[in-house]
Amino acid sequence: MSHDAEAMPHLDFAGTTPYEDYVQADVLTHLQTLRSDDPGEMVFLVTTQVMELWFTVIVHEWETASRALADDDVPTAIAALKRSVRELEALNASWRPLAQLTPGQFNSYRSALGEGSGFQSAMYRRMEFLLGDKSASMLVPHRGAPRVHAELDKALHEPSLYDEVLRLLARRGHDVPRAVLDRDVSRRYEPSPEVEAVWTALYAGDESAELARLGEALSDVAELVWRWRNDHLVATRRAMGAKTGTGGSAGVAWLEKRARGNVFPELWTARSHV
């Protein structure tokens, strides 16, 4: 047998390849059902599907971080948050194939979406819930899908990632108010001056300390979430201006409101006092 033959990879498999068994590429690459004749619809559909995959990974990372924080395992939480930063960067880059859409290009297949809209994404909603942006009304679109609705309802009533951070700070002896610790976690998180004071003290101290490093990892996440919202706003404004969004949303006006908010708000406001 020649050296070249010895170097050849194993090519003969009885069934599907081990790669296919693990990745299920054949399933992934046959999930695209186009609803128009426009050649640009494929990139829109695939990019949206890729976004859903990144949402799934990021939810996994933030749930891992939440569980670690509940167990007082800050290093594992920081590691998961840092992985999610790289994943958020890849997610945000998904806007690039769509960012140059002209109104004419978008209109050529927009009708294929029908009443479909990104705010109906269940996995993205789980991301928002983990960030503390809770809303029971956002479960309504999923009433017809019992498994998805149950998963969202569970996420709605569980502490967010930030709730677990604040509980950890309290266990470490910081003055997080009882009203914050005992709040109804199914409601949207509202900023607290006392929590701001806790972060101010942490940042005024040793920035290499574990909790300060946790704060910076959370800030990295928050910054990229803000960039995601702004990139979404810009891409939408370029493709459709101020028209009503698909699914009946307010389109750009809705996205502008979302882009003005910061997640983990006291991590940002505390910096003014350090």
- Tell whether the model's pLDDT for residue 3 goes beyond 70: no
Q: Is the pLDDT of residue 246 over 70?
A: no
Length of the chain, please? Answer: 274
Q: Which of 85-94, 113-122, 183-192 has the lowest mean pLDDT?
A: 113-122
- Please name each of the domains of the chain with its CATH number: 36-107+116-273 (1.20.58.480)
The mean predicted confidence, pLDDT, of the chain is 90
Residue burial 23-36, b: 16+ Cβ < 10 Å; e: rest: eeeeeeeeeeeeee
Numbered residues of the known binding site: 110, 232, 246
For residue 157, count other CB atoms closer than 10 A to its CB.
Answer: 13
What are the binding residues for heme? Answer: 232
Of the pLDDT bands very low, low, confident and very high (cuts 50, 70, 90), residue 238 is confident
pLDDT at res. 6? 65
DSSP symbol at 9:
P
Handedness of CA 226, 227, 231, 232 (dihedral sign): negative
Give the model confidence (pLDDT) of 34-80 as tens digits.
Answer: 988 888 889 889 999 999 999 999 999 999 999 999 999 999 999 99
Q: Please give the model's pTM, rounded to 2 decimal places.
A: 0.89
Q: How far apart are CA 268 and CA 165, in angstroms?
A: 15
3-state secondary structure of 110: helix
Q: What is the pLDDT of residue 254?
A: 64
Task: Report the distance separating Cα 40 and Cα 125, nearest Å.
Answer: 27
Q: Nearest to residue 197, comparing CAs of 189, 185, 205?
A: 205
User: Where is pLDDT greater, at 154 or 118?
Assistant: 154
Question: For the packed helices 252-259 and 210-240, what is the interaxial angle rounded to 10 degrees?
Answer: 160
Helical packing angle, 122-130 and 41-70, nearest 10°: 30
216 half-sphere exposure, CB direction, 13 A CA radius: 11
Binding site, annotated residues for substrate: 110, 246
